[in-house]
Amino acid sequence: MRLTMKKNSLWFLILLVLLGRPAGAQGPAWVEISSGLLDQNIQTLAVHPQDGKTLLAASDQRLFRSQDGGQSWKRIFSARGSDALRFAMTEESSIYLGSDKGVQVSHDSGKKWESFYTSGGNAGKVLCMARAGAKNMFYMGTMEGLYLFDAQSGRSSPVTEIARRPVHSLLIQKETGIFFAATSEGFYKQASSGAAWEKVFTLGAEAAEKTVSEEDALGQFQIEEVALPIRFPNLIHMPQEGPLYAATREGIWEGQAEGSDWTPLKGQNFPKNIRSMTRSGRTFYVATSAGIYQWNPKLGNFRELYKGIDSIQVQTVVYSEAGDYLVAGTTRGIFRLNHPELDLFPLSEANPGMQPRDIFKLFENEPTILEIQNAAIRYAEVHPDKIKNWRAAAARKALVPTLSLDGGFDKDQNVDIDRGGTADPDRFIIGPEEKGFDWSVGVNWDLGDLIWNDDQTSIDVRSKLMAELREDILSQVTHFYFERRRLQAQIILSPPADMAIEIEKTIRLEELTANIDALTGGYWTQRVQKR
């Protein structure tokens, strides 16, 4: 954002962000957030359900945590030997980490770890887990099937209705309490806690055979499975629309919780090699080897979200409800996309009677971006006029003479000799002292400085440094300004239904305001209070 941006252009930019772009537009851009990340090959991601700033990222053997939305990362777990990490789950201050050797848990955000679930063979290789209703009961989806685990007694029992197949995904439908489990051969449902599991959908024979052959390809040579098999089928549930969606090797399938009527989802305009799937409150996202796609429920098709993440193999994607952003784990680090749905659901759909001018009127009492940028420049004392004044002063230096002042003080004493008679000794007669003082003033011009002087070199260096500092400050304050404006628009267009999310977004709004005040010496708050 430049200082020369006109006000009309500014509002046009905001209008594009708020109201969406044509079908051919590139969409929002991804930003890399891999600073301080030791491993770039990210296999698993998790976001805290209430804290939008807390993220977990796992490579094959290390787990990292960020508490500032991905700006910095800290390693909190390292696997030993050939142990491979398979998933991470976080709730409140507890973190559950699944691996080839069971599940580890930390109740202090990763400072100390202890064993939570262990079992021999493939039953100890946990791919997913979920609470089973009671406080201490958990379902463990393993490479050998589904197990019900009692954390209080430490005992586990297999779910016999599900074949001894890897359980890749577990889902609970909160509205009904129905549990779903996805295996490589189909989906199972448990109608209520303690009830028997029943199969509600069977994958095609071709997909099942492909899954079996891939999982057992190395077994004939007595070689362990690959460290991190692709995690699917992956199940999600859309609470507002009702249907279930499943990502399989045959693409995405759509079904209902009540029956076994599952059909391929229409509008799949992307390759079927799906890596991961995640949902928000109104839509869902699919990560494939060809990119990340967003489902448009109105148009019945997908849009690729590729800007800023081109030609990078995406391995997992997660949506943060609390932070309203997507985060993608790739073979080359982690990328974040803020507010991915601002241009998916037009303003007219969310508020039919509201027009863009109505939105803009709500912000009339707030400073414009140009005011904020100028305030930041003044506060940091990095205005371009400062350099101009330096150059002008250096040029005028040649017209100012060099003044020199010289002075001296003399003191003399007269001495005479009185020789007297021939028999008398000579005498020295000291006369009066003679004192003198002289001074001079010199004025010198170096007219060559009118053409060039050495101060210009120093000014050039300082000018470059100041320009870089000014650009950094403008970039920061512009980012905070429009991040705050987007959040305001989102709150207006889609008020949070959950109190925790509303509180988090309100706090985020205050945080962005504080960041702007910090860069402008409190200009934002002072300006708003005066209006």
Q: What is the pLDDT of residues 80-134, one digit of tens each?
A: 877 888 888 888 789 999 988 899 999 998 889 999 999 988 888 999 999 887 7
How far CA 71 is from CA of 37, 167, 412, in Å, comes to 10, 34, 80
Q: Is the pLDDT of residue 191 over 70?
A: yes
Tokens matching residue 375: 């305030």
Site of tokens 């860069």? 519
Q: Give the pLDDT band of residue 258 (cuts 50, 70, 90).
A: low
What percent of the chain has a predicted confidence (pLDDT) above 70?
Answer: 75
Domain range summary for the chain, segments of one domain joined by +:
1-20+346-400+450-531, 27-115+164-345, 401-449
pLDDT of residue 103: 94
Answer yes or no: are the C-beta atoms of 234 and 244 closer than 8 Å.
no
Peptide bond into 239 cis (omega under 30): no
Per the document, the length of the chain is 531
pLDDT of residue 33: 92
Q: Residue 492's closest CA among 345, 375, 309, 394?
A: 345
Architecture of domain 27-115+164-345: 7 Propeller (2.130)
More confident position, 94 or 505: 94
Average pLDDT, the chain: 77
Q: Residue 509's closest CA among 493, 528, 487?
A: 487
Rounded (10°) angle between helices 455-493 and 369-380: 140
pLDDT of residue 12: 40
Alpha helices in 295-383 (DSSP H): 347-350, 356-361, 369-380
This prediction's pTM: 0.60
Q: Is the pLDDT of residue 204 over 70?
A: no
Answer yes or no: are the C-beta atoms of 282 and 295 closer than 8 Å.
no
How far is 29 from 104, CA to CA, in rounded Å? Answer: 36
The pLDDT tens digits for 419-468 are: 666 676 767 677 677 777 777 777 776 666 666 666 666 767 777 888 88
Site of tokens 């930003």? 31
